[in-house]
Amino acid sequence: MSREHYFIMAHMKVTQKLFISFTFLWTEFYVRCEQENKDHNERVLNIESGPNNLTRESLSKKIILEEQVANQLLSAINGQVHSRYRRSVDENFEKNNEDENASELYRDGIDKMHLNIIKRPNDNRSIEAFTLINGLKLLLISDPKVKRAAVTLNVNVGSFNNPKSFQGLAHLLEHLIVFNNKKFKDFDELGKFAYEHGEVWTAATIKTNTNFFFSVPAIQFREALERLVALFDSPIFSEKMIQNELASVNKQFLEHFDNDERRIINVLKENANQTHPFSLFDAGNFESLTNSSLIDVTDLSQELIKFYDKHYSSNIMSVSVLSNEPIEKLKAMTIPLLKMIKNKNVTVQVWHENPFGYQQLKKKFSVVPIENVHKLQIMFPISDLKKYYKTKPWMYTFYLLNQNGKGSLLKYLEKQNFSESIFTTVENYSEFGFLCIHVDLTEKGIERVNEVIEAIFQYLNMIKGSEIEKWIFDEIYNLINNDLRFEKADEVEEAAQASSAMQDYPINEIFTIRNMNKEFQSHLIEQFLNIMNPEHMLAIIVSPTFAGKTNKREKWYGVEYSVENFEEEFLAKLKHTNSSEFQFPRRNEFIATNFELKESENNDTKPIVIKSNENLKLWFFQDFQFDARAFFAINFKSSSFHIEPLYTVCAELLTELIDIEFEEDMSKAEVAGIKFGHNVFTYGISFYAHGYSDKISIFVLKIMDAISKFYFDEQNFIEIKSSYFKKLKRFKSSRFLLPLTIRTYADGILRGNKWLYEEEIAIEENLNFDLFKFVINKIFSNVFIECFAYGNVESNGTKSLANEIIRKFKLKSMLASSSQYVFKSQIRRLPDSTSFVFEVKNSFESENAILVYYQFGKKNFSENVKLKLLVKILDRSFYDSVYSKERSNSFLFFNTFSDGWDKIGITFFNQTSNLTAYADQRIEAFIQSFKLELENMTSDDFEKYRNELIAEEMNKEKRENLFSFAASFHKEIKYGTYVFNRRILTASEILKPTKEDVLKIVDDYLICGAEHRAKLAVIVGQYRKSTNSSHDLKLCSEATFVKMEKVDEFRLQLPLHS
């Protein structure tokens, strides 16, 4: 079609849009005239005595001005209408020609188009799938929101295809294919290309698949794909390349040699049916691939080529592509390249039978691990597992086994002190697999492991002896489908999952294979329940206590283990064992069923107050960016939370007690997509929940009702109190936790809401349940409540929820007036021109550490932005000049010291074998060198830091998920700052500071002798000068160095920042 012909045909469509453009521009003209009139009149009024004294001259100027503006806009209208019209035609013509040309490129490469791709609910992406003329399956996903293009090429061959005499060959071949490149100069062309563009390129071999995947910026996608396809063009492996990659495979084997998961799997392999490929050593090493050097590289090269020729064919390949490019463009870029991969008409090998048949069952493996852990894993082998992917009948039993409420298996094992966690998995290989129950055991649990196994079968027998309940099935169905409804996977992860799924399932179903059919089929559930019987099990028991008591050694990893048959008497007992300890869970009331969006109420871009009285302030922000999800926070604010260590400890214990008391409800809520959290902060205690909006109010009210009534168990309090103080003592005595320990001491000195370890530990003896209840009631008798609702919420429902919370706490007389609550900084201010040191007593003779704090103080918004820029430059300089040079014998880091959003100061930490005085002076020397570096910094480098900081601030604005987005607003509300557009303001404010502004902060607050410099050093190890001249650095003689003896008296002398 000619351009002129296309131009005429497009004329009618384009002219339909002209009236809209014309109207818009005339509206713009009217507004501009009005503004010009207003500005002109204001100028006249400044000259004349009054509004009615407009002179003929001023009126004529006004008319002339209006005519000038009118002419300008009429000209603009004509120009814009014509340019828009012509540009629209040209763009559509170019796009039409581009599409026509593109279709010519790929049309002859498609053998079959797969229609009716079943997408997940709320998935608005463009998705198409094809089988190409060479049998390769191709999936294209166009998503305008992604920035990276991700590609996975999956070959339906893996370690199960290894020859028995060359175990690990598939893995070695994967390594070599990565470097097979005849088209490009660099042998690692794709890896180098991905690396240069800061993205991912990797490959992996598993049981029945080998994956090659990369992600690059979308603009580099075509170039990267060319390099990927080039890998499969007639491989030639040089002797040197084989030797290099053989060494690499062996290195990987050694790197994972201590991985207990791999070691246990290889114990199972050694005891499986040895004619089954499951028994093969899949990772490979030097010995397995060369028969301990009896096979030379030439023989190995021939085996590699033979394996490649036999298995690597386009007809058993699947490729998934995810990019922001339109589908038509993706087809044009991918199909012409992928159709060139050679088709050898390979038949995929499939294994239906399980490698553990009758001869291998009823075994107990006792395995010695590398880690100091005690575990039990019960496995039930199953054949032809994959055909049940739509019904997933094992989920019924697994759902019940994973419960943790009253009457659950876990509650019983916890009560007996046998275990702290249980989880279940389905292990799927080709067409067979295993149903697995995993139990993390205590020391008591490993000693009485048979009782743990018996408890598992008692629970299973309870399920078998009861009717299969449809309501349980319905819960599972809703939970699975709710999870998938709004799932958003990483680009690379989704591409990898899709390419693998295309090998095993119908292409149009690959996005729903994790769904479950709604049809209730109790007979299938019973069938799988019957598989989980004692006669059909394997038990792997892992514990260091088996060391020296085993009689076997696994070939590849040298795992010490024993294997024996279960006693028939014990198996017979397990068939019929029962217990009254177990019961079915109650229904999950938190599962969402309504995903409708609320009626839109406003177009606010930040939280607004919708209710405010003497007890409550309620913030509200309706936003549908995250679909049918919501965030709700309740902040109890009071000065009573931190008046003394006892009150702070009791507040912390309350949060832990809530976690224990409501473990079942929280677990059910989390399974249903509602997460709960809390934290004790500067001004009080905060509780929040986020997830599906449908049932979030029910969950929040349940927790708030319990807190207001204070129905807590004394035994639970005793347990959490013991655990809390053990943790405090462990932190103080662990050399590995020194960074946390020393920071806690600094917080205890500088923060009004924090205490030293010794101050908190001192209250342990006198703290009992009655005192705890007294303190909590005292705290909550003087609280002001501030709430925040965000997401798929509506104002009336939010007000009702807040009113109900207020009502519950008013019944207990637990509220204070907002007039009694005033925000103020809780950071203590050190006097100017002072330096203090505090020595922490410890038992680490050879370990020294120092945390140095330099104070800036509480600043206004503009000054705080300057500090952010300084910190950005400081951080990079510290890494380059100190961390990178001294990390071999020191553990160093640089951080900020903040009060809410404000940066009050900076800290340097150094854990070292050097003396603390040397470490301190090393930091001083860095500050001096940093000043010089800043003085000599070019304007281009300074601008680079500024632009990086602006980018960081703007990236924070991106809506990655509901919680992170809502949390930024919630933080403003928690700390009473209410600057809801902080990031945008910060980004714009960053443009203002000059290098001289940043230098002034260094001169005023950091360098030795600075007018406002205030410094605190918290040290582990004595602060003394080294006698080794090589460690001598010039001390900062201008500072008055004061050793802090009594912290409590010192703190009383310090004012808080205003």
| pLDDT per residue as tens digits for the range 606-641 | 999 999 988 889 999 999 988 899 999 999 998 888
**Look-up of token digits 């214990």:** 653
Average pLDDT, stretch 90-117? 63
CA distances to 490, 614, 948 from 805, rounded to whole Å, are 38, 14, 44
Q: Rank 514-518, 768-772, 905-909, 978-982 by mean pLDDT and report only the highest.
A: 768-772
The 10s digit of each residue's pLDDT in 214-265 is 888 888 888 888 888 888 887 778 888 888 889 989 999 998 999 999 999 9
pLDDT for residue 733 is more than 80:
no
**Which residues 6+ apart lie within 8 Å of 47 measured at CB?**
none
Contact 585, 403 (CB under 8 A): yes
Contact 174, 203 (CB under 8 A): yes
Nearest CA among 1002, 422, 972, 1044 for reference residue 683? 972
Contact 556, 285 (CB under 8 A): yes
The 10s digit of each residue's pLDDT in 272-282 is 999 999 999 99
pTM over the 0.75 mark: yes
What structural domains does the chain harbor?
A: 3-107 (no CATH), 115-338 (3.30.830.10), 358-565 (3.30.830.10), 608-820 (3.30.830.10), 834-1053 (3.30.830.10)
Could you tell me the two tokens for 451? 């009782």
Could you tell me the two tokens for 401? 């086994």
Grouping H, G, I as helix, E, B as strand and the rest as coil, residue 689 is strand
What is the chain's mean pLDDT, rounded? 82
Average pLDDT, stretch 97-109? 57
CA distances to 412, 567, 811 from 455, rounded to whole Å, are 8, 17, 44
E strand or H helix at 849: strand 848-855
**Look-up of token digits 């995929």:** 348
Band (874; pLDDT cuts 50, 70, 90): confident
CA–CA separation, 216 vs 200, rounded Å? 7
Q: Residue 586 region, left (φ>0) first, then alpha (ψ -120 to 50), else beta?
A: beta
Q: How many CB atoms lie within 10 A of CB 165?
A: 11
E strand or H helix at 611: strand 608-612
Band (532; pLDDT cuts 50, 70, 90): very high
Contact 267, 365 (CB under 8 A): yes
CA distances to 337, 981, 987 from 993, rounded to whole Å, are 52, 20, 12
> What's residue 844's pLDDT?
56
Task: Report which residue type is found at 315.
Answer: N
Query: What single DSSP character describes residue 410?
Result: H
Alpha helix segments (H runs only) across 568-644: 568-576
Band (84; pLDDT cuts 50, 70, 90): very low
Contact 181, 230 (CB under 8 A): yes
Band (208; pLDDT cuts 50, 70, 90): very high
Q: Rank 187-201, 430-444, 952-966 by mean pLDDT and report only the highest.
A: 430-444
> What's residue 469's pLDDT?
96
| φ, ψ at 437 (rounded to 5°) | -120, 125
In order, the DSSP letters of 734-800 are -GGGHHHHHHHHHHHHHBTT---HHHHHTTTTT--HHHHHHHHHHHHTTBEEEEEEEES--HHHHHH
**Which residues 6+ apart lie within 8 Å of 767 measured at CB?**
646, 649, 650, 721
Query: Treating both helix axes as pointing N-terminal to C-terminal, what angle do 861-878 and 982-989 enclose, rounded to 10 degrees?
Result: 70
E strand or H helix at 458: helix 449-464
Query: What single DSSP character describes residue 912?
Result: E
Contact 640, 782 (CB under 8 A): yes
Average pLDDT, stretch 478-482? 89
Query: What single DSSP character describes residue 120?
Result: P
pLDDT for residue 317 is more than 80:
yes
Nearest CA among 401, 403, 440, 674 for reference residue 541? 440
Q: How many residues can be counted in the chain?
A: 1058
Nearest CA among 674, 662, 685 for reference residue 630? 674
CA–CA separation, 806 vs 813, rounded Å? 10
Nearest CA among 774, 783, 639 for reference residue 710? 774
CA–CA separation, 375 vs 402, rounded Å? 16
Contact 942, 997 (CB under 8 A): no
Task: Report which residue type is found at 281.
Answer: F
Nearest CA among 133, 147, 124, 111 for reference residue 511? 124
Average pLDDT, stretch 173-182? 78
| φ, ψ at 628 (rounded to 5°) | -90, 50
CA–CA separation, 282 vs 168, rounded Å? 5
Band (422; pLDDT cuts 50, 70, 90): very high
- Find the distance separating the first CA and the last CA of the chain, reported in whole Å: 74
Q: How many CB atoms lie within 10 A of CB 615?
A: 16
> What's residue 200's pLDDT?
60
Grouping H, G, I as helix, E, B as strand and the rest as coil, residue 1030 is helix
Nearest CA among 1056, 1043, 1017, 1024 for reference residue 745? 1017
Nearest CA among 527, 544, 545 for reference residue 536? 527
Grouping H, G, I as helix, E, B as strand and the rest as coil, residue 1028 is coil
> What's residue 821's pLDDT?
52
Query: What single DSSP character describes residue 342?
Result: P
Q: What is the DSSP pairing of strand 834-840 with strand 1041-1043? A: parallel
Average pLDDT, stretch 990-1006? 92
CA distances to 141, 210, 382, 754, 1015 from 1053, rounded to whole Å, are 65, 68, 72, 16, 16
pLDDT for residue 477 is more than 90:
yes
**Which residues 6+ apart lie within 8 Å of 75 measured at CB?**
none
**Look-up of token digits 């502004």:** 997
CA–CA separation, 856 vs 850, rounded Å? 19
Could you tell me the two tokens for 278? 């499951």
Nearest CA among 725, 741, 721, 740 for reference residue 656? 721
> What's residue 191's pLDDT?
52
Could you tell me the two tokens for 499? 């390419």
* Chain-centroid distance, C-alpha 604: 28
CA–CA separation, 223 vs 882, rounded Å? 40
